[in-house]
């Protein structure tokens, strides 16, 4: 009996010593785009219980609970369980019909999925053994204000881009415009694309797409040169930098929904005011051929990518062919002083065709790189619609050379005479040269769907 008691005591002591060997777990969200509600730590069971912040928008009365981005210290080699106790307020976390995974990172750049999870009784639980001491955990791949600042500092130093600070947010952060175009094609022969992004703070998928688009347009790729040559790209990548920095879900620092403040009578959202004025100035100076607003679904149960687009549009087939956006919503929109979105303002006030890009961040197939590539593919889809830059098809024409059965249906039959010959190749090369670019060499690139 004494031996049994002695063995039990030794075993218990061993457990206590092992538990005490772990450093104490700590949680914080005091950094760019950080957010957490309440939390408690059960050190003995390596469990952290937390809530996500809920925000109420003063101009709409709507409430949103979605975004979290926090850091855990003392996690190296430790299996930690997390319990989000107000998950019933988050549509995608409480689903049982789809795979709802959050993400973590050890360096803030490379993100992995949290695959061991469950939902029951309003609580979303996930468990992970961490390979680092200070992992960051987030609802989806973050895109903080500092990352945009680094991007703009980097690309503004290169040719073809002009960075303009439109003004400041309520808390003094820059709201910047990036204009990308070439100089070889006369302005009157170009199409003008106007883009805004990150109106809603937690909609990070749109920011990753915009970043991919910007990086591509300013690369030395011949197709990027062609897209610069024949188009003017006006991009306001982050309208709500305060909300992003503060880790909000949708709101500005003043608890407003900036995408309901687009009416000229609304002046309470600084980023919206600046973008609205700039869009009007561009419309007056050169016209706007398409207006795009990059968002991300956060408050609904849709698990597919879609766009809002005008009824009867002919651009959607090009977007569907190039991207992973295979659905469109063509319902109408309104614009009143009490509630006017960018879509309503562009369509009804500016008279400009408008696309709102709505990727679903809930899809586990997304990576940061695939999001970036979607931005590139939207650029190609817009070009497919307008047809100004034709050089993108040149590297793929070798197998078509000599065909005489096209009847206008071959991609390489640029003159529509039914065949693909040297005249067609020369026309494509001339189109590239007119944009101020050197013709490509080498195999064709992938610019379609994944």
Q: Is residue 443 part of a domain?
A: no
Number of domains in the chain: 3
For the segment 25-71, what is each residue's pLDDT rounded down to a tens digit? 999 999 999 999 999 999 999 999 999 999 999 999 999 999 999 99
**123-129/79-84 β-pairing:** antiparallel
Q: Tell me: pLDDT of 14 over 80.
A: no
Opening angle at CA 300, ends 253 and 263, nearest 5: 45
CB 296 within 8 A of CB 358: yes
- Among candidate residues 138, 153, 187, the one where a domain is terminated: 138
Terminal alpha carbon distance of the chain: 67
State residue 17's pLDDT score.
39
d(CA 108, CA 444): 34
What is the chain's mean pLDDT, rounded? 91
Q: Is residue 134 part of a domain?
A: yes
Burial class (CB in 10 A: 0-12, 13-18, 19+), 27: middle
Query: What percent of the chain has pLDDT above 70?
Result: 92
Please give the sequence-ordered ranges of beta strands (E in DSSP) within 316-383, or none if there are none.
328-329, 335-336, 339-340, 354-358
State residue 13's pLDDT score.
39
Q: Are residues 53 and 191 in the same domain?
A: no
Q: Are residues 318 and 230 in the same domain?
A: yes
- pLDDT average, residue stretch 401-430: 79
Q: Is residue 280 part of a domain?
A: yes
Q: Which residues contact 102 (CB under 8 A, 6 or more apart)?
A: 113, 114, 117, 126, 137, 138, 139, 140
Q: Are residues 297 and 162 in the same domain?
A: yes
Pick from 138, 22, 16: which is nearest to 76 by CA?
22
For the segment 251-264, what is each residue's pLDDT rounded down to a tens digit? 999 999 999 999 99
User: In 174-239, where does DSSP find H-type helix?
Assistant: 204-217, 222-230
State residue 2's pLDDT score.
47
Range(s) of the domain holding residue 397: 391-434
Structure confidence at residue 3 as a pLDDT band (50, 70, 90): very low
Q: Tell me: pLDDT of 335 over 70.
A: yes
Structure confidence at residue 408 as a pLDDT band (50, 70, 90): low
Q: Are residues 185 and 166 in the same domain?
A: yes
State residue 440's pLDDT score.
65
Q: Tell me: pLDDT of 443 over 70.
A: no
- Beta strands across the sheet bearing 123-129: 39-42, 47-50, 79-84, 123-129, 117-120
Pick from 266, 271, 134, 153: which is nearest to 201 by CA?
271
DSSP string, 370-424: HHHHHHHHHHHHHHHHH----GGGGGG-GGGTT----TT-STT-TT-SS---HHH
Q: Tell me: pLDDT of 325 over 80.
A: yes
Can you give the CATH number for the domain in which 86 is found?
A: 2.60.40.3120
SS3 content of the chain, % helix, strand, coil (to 5): 30, 20, 45
Q: Tell me: pLDDT of 381 over 70.
A: yes
State residue 395's pLDDT score.
72
Half-sphere exposure of 434 (CA within 13 A, CB side): 17
- pLDDT average, residue stretch 147-156: 93
Predicted TM-score (pTM) of this structure = 0.92
Pick from 384, 448, 450, 445: which is nearest to 221 by CA?
445
d(CA 191, CA 213): 17
d(CA 179, CA 162): 5
Q: Are residues 227 and 297 in the same domain?
A: yes
Q: Is residue 178 part of a domain?
A: yes
Q: Rounded to a whole number, what is the largest CA-CA distance in the chain?
A: 100
Q: Is residue 440 part of a domain?
A: no
Q: Are residues 67 and 204 in the same domain?
A: no
Q: Is residue 118 part of a domain?
A: yes
Is the alpha carbon torsion for 83, 86, 90, 95 positive or negative? positive
Q: Is residue 444 part of a domain?
A: no
Structure confidence at residue 447 as a pLDDT band (50, 70, 90): low
- Among candidate residues 138, 154, 188, the one where a domain is terminated: 138
Q: Which residue has the tokens 């009365």?
A: 61
Q: Are residues 106 and 216 in the same domain?
A: no
For the segment 356-372, what is each residue's pLDDT rounded down to a tens digit? 999 999 899 999 999 99
Q: Are residues 25 and 174 in the same domain?
A: no
For the segment 95-104, what is each residue's pLDDT rounded down to a tens digit? 888 889 999 9
- pLDDT average, residue stretch 150-164: 89
Q: Are residues 314 and 410 in the same domain?
A: no
Structure confidence at residue 448 as a pLDDT band (50, 70, 90): low
Q: Which residues contact 161 (CB under 8 A, 6 or more apart)?
A: 155, 178, 179, 180, 218
- CA separation (Å) from 113 to 207, 217, 393, 397? 19, 30, 37, 41
Q: Are residues 216 and 362 in the same domain?
A: yes
- pLDDT average, residue stretch 9-15: 41
Can you give the CATH number for the domain in which 327 is found?
A: 3.40.630.10
Q: Is residue 11 part of a domain?
A: no
State residue 438's pLDDT score.
84
d(CA 250, CA 91): 15
Q: Tell me: pLDDT of 297 over 70.
A: yes
Q: Tell me: pLDDT of 417 over 60.
A: yes
Residue 268 CA, chain-centre distance (Å), reads 25
Q: Are residues 282 and 334 in the same domain?
A: yes
CB 183 within 8 A of CB 244: no
Query: What percent of the chain has pLDDT above 90?
Result: 77
State residue 9's pLDDT score.
42
Q: Are residues 372 and 398 in the same domain?
A: no
């Amino acid at each position: 009996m004494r031996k049994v008691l002695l063995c039990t005591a030794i075993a218990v002591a061993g457990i206590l010593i092992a538990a005490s060997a772990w450093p104490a777990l700590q949680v914080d969200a005091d950094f760019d785009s950080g957010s957490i509600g309440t939390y408690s730590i059960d050190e003995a069971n390596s469990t952290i219980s937390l809530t996500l912040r809920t925000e109420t928008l003063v101009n709409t009365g709507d409430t949103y609970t979605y975004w979290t981005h926090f850091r855990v210290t003392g996690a190296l080699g430790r299996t930690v369980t997390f319990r989000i106790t107000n998950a019933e307020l988050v549509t995608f976390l409480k689903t049982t019909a789809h795979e709802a995974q959050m993400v973590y990172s050890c360096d803030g750049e490379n993100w992995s999925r949290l695959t061991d999870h469950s939902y029951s009784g309003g609580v979303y639980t996930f468990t992970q053994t961490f390979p680092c001491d200070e992992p960051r955990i987030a609802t989806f791949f973050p895109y903080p204000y500092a990352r945009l600042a680094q991007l703009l500092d980097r690309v503004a130093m290169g040719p073809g881009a002009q960075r303009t600070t439109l003004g400041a947010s309520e808390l003094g952060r820059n709201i910047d415009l990036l204009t990308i175009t070439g100089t070889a094609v006369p302005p009157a022969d170009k199409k003008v694309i106007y883009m805004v992004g990150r109106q809603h703070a937690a909609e990070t998928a749109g920011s990753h797409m915009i970043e991919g688009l910007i990086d591509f347009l300013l690369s030395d790729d011949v197709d990027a040169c062609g897209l610069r040559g024949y188009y003017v790209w006006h991009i306001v990548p982050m309208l709500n930098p305060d909300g992003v920095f503060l880790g909000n879900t949708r709101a500005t620092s003043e608890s407003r929904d900036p995408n309901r403040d687009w009416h000229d009578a609304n002046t309470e959202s600084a980023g919206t005011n600046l973008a609205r004025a700039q869009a009007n100035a561009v419309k007056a100076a050169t016209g706007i051929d398409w207006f795009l607003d990059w968002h991300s679904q956060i408050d609904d149960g849709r698990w597919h990518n879609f766009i809002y687009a005008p009824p009867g549009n002919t651009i959607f087939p090009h977007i569907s062919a190039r991207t992973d956006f295979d659905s469109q919503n063509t319902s109408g929109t309104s614009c009143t002083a009490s509630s006017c979105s960018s879509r309503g303002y562009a369509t009804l006030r500016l008279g400009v065709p408008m696309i709102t890009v709505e990727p679903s961040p809930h899809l586990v197939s997304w990576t940061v790189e695939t999001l970036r590539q979607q931005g590139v593919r939207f650029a190609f889809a817009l070009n497919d619609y307008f047809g100004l830059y034709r050089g993108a098809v040149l590297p793929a024409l070798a197998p078509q050379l000599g065909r005489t059965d096209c009847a206008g249906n071959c991609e390489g039959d640029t003159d529509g005479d039914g065949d693909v010959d040297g005249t067609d190749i020369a026309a494509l090369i001339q189109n590239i040269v007119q944009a101020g670019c050197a013709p490509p060499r080498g195999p064709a690139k992938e610019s379609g769907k994944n």
